[in-house]
Structure 1
């Protein structure tokens, strides 16, 4: 994607200002956003052994310590938003920061070593198959797709041609939504199914 970090930051702020800034939580139940402290960001970077990507760092420091974004919201750093018993620091080792909980054990994680987003969907995979897979997105791509309404939760599928397990493509996800709910179906419809 060719969208700049500043453009994505501004688009995230606009979406939050419009309300309904966590996809899976009714607006009436949303708490006000409070930015992360510089100490919380420094702690996360120390635990990870590297800096957070500039967009993510800016969102934490200027917008909120989690509590906005896809699924049950961007997970916060120390003292920030939690979902499914997790915060972004849960299991932070080797530079993997949990971005969000989508429910049913499904999550998105940012690998800080290469700034790539990974999905985890443990639900359909047999025991001998990894439930973690690359989503081929940077954090800028991930938030850009969220703002556009085209970010889908990670979904592990068995390729019908090769028989290999992999992450679903956007086209496969859209097809599944349309099959289940018709052309006006949404990701929220699918999550509630």
Structure 2
């Protein structure tokens, strides 16, 4: 069994046994056509591990706090789907240039208070970022939550994420690529 397969098995076990807020049950996984439709709508590919979560575990409804957002359809708790939220954030950024949303940064989980866990779909390791707009301005709203999606999932599985009560006061590093990635977005 590969490392990714072992991780997916651990995630599947926890996903079957725990429910994030607002989810009564674990949704069925999506099919390959749904992933392809999401990627076509986004204009970029999902990182393989993220696609596998949706294909093999469920269409959202598992993970830390409010759990993974569904890929294309709205969640039972009224949260928008990941693709819908990404498109809304990009549209909003065009209207308000003070709050640019980087291309390829897909919101995957809502933390409440307008905060999102996001996957940088352009990074080879699928870096997970925290978008925290309550910081005051866009330049100070982006942090590296985990160097990879696999690391982010492991911190949830192991109870070591910054959001755990036992880890209060953990400082996340600012996302150093924010300025470069949003400048690229404005140039295109």
TM-score, length of structure 1 as denominator length: 0.67
* Map of 2:156 onto structure 1: 146
Deviation string, structure 1 residues 28-63 (Cα, Å, up to 9, x no partner): x61242111322211222233332222211110121
Using the alignment, how far apart are the partners of 2:138 and 2:15 within structure 1?
40
1:111 Cα deviation (Å)?
A: 0.9
* Map of 2:121 onto structure 1: 112
How well do the aligned residues superpose, as a CA RMSD in angstroms? 2.7
* Map of 1:48 onto structure 2: 42
1:106 Cα deviation (Å)?
A: 1.4
Q: 3-state DSSP class of the match of 1:142?
A: helix
Using the alignment, how far apart are the partners of 2:54 and 2:45 within structure 1?
13
Which ranges in structure 2 are unaligned for 5 or more consecutive residues? 91-102, 171-188
What does 1:76-91 correspond to in 2, within 5 Å?
Answer: 76-79=70-73, 81=75, 85-89=79-83, 90-91=85-86
Tell me if the contact between 1:83 and 1:101 (Cα under 8 Å) persists in the aligned partners.
Answer: no
Using the alignment, how far apart are the partners of 1:126 and 1:110 within structure 2?
22
* Map of 1:174 onto structure 2: 167
1:73 aligns with 2:71: no
Shift of the 128–135 alpha-carbon distance from structure 1 to 2, 3 Å rule, reads: closer
What does 1:1-193 correspond to in 2, within 5 Å?
Answer: 4-17=3-16, 19-22=17-20, 24-25=21-22, 30-79=24-73, 81=75, 85-89=79-83, 90-92=85-87, 94-114=103-123, 115-123=126-134, 125-127=135-137, 129-153=139-163, 174-176=167-169
TM-score, length of structure 2 as denominator length: 0.69
Shift of the 101–175 alpha-carbon distance from structure 1 to 2, 3 Å rule, reads: closer
Q: 3-state DSSP class of the match of 2:111?
A: strand
Q: Which has the higher helix share?
A: 2
Q: Which runs of 4+ in 1 moved over 4 A?
A: none
Number of aligned residue pairs: 152
